[in-house]
Structures are given as C-alpha cells and as structure tokens.
Amino acid sequence: MSTVALSPKFQVVIPKDIRRALNLVSGQRMEVKLNGDKVEFIPEKTVASLRGRWPGTDTRVVRDADRV
C-alpha cells in the first residue's frame, strides 16, 4: 500500500508501480467517484483499447437495400 499527499492545488501523484500495473499514461482521463468515505479513480477506456476484446464477433452491419 502506498501513501500519497495532496498538493496545495489538491493534486495527487499516482505511484509508479500502480501506473505501470494499470498502463496509465500522462493526460489519460479518469472518472472520479465518491464511494462512502473513499475516492475512486477509474481510468476511462478508449475505443482502441477495446480492439480484439471479442474475437470471432461478426462486425458486418446488415443494411437495408434502400439505405445503401
């Protein structure tokens, strides 16, 4: 477990081992939630990071002939 401090601007530095484990990068957006008396930082997933998540899924779109 790591301990961090709030800066005068209320910023927090995420420890390096946690950044590496979660593959966090500078500028990445995070969702911030209040959970009881805890603060949760949840990294937003990019569309690119979801690529290949469901192998074998048919991604072809069926279109009506009059809509092409």
* CA 52 – CA 62 distance, rounded (Å): 21
What average pLDDT does the chain have? 86
The residues spanned by each domain of the chain are 12-46
* CA 18 – CA 2 distance, rounded (Å): 9
The answer to whether the CB of 24 falls within 8 A of the CB of 35 is no
pLDDT of residue 50: 66
What is the pLDDT averaged over residues 51-68?
74
* CA 41 – CA 31 distance, rounded (Å): 6
What is the value of pTM for the model shown? 0.59
pLDDT of residue 47: 72
pLDDT of residue 18: 93
Per-residue model confidence as pLDDT tens digits over 26-50: 999 999 999 999 999 999 877 766 6
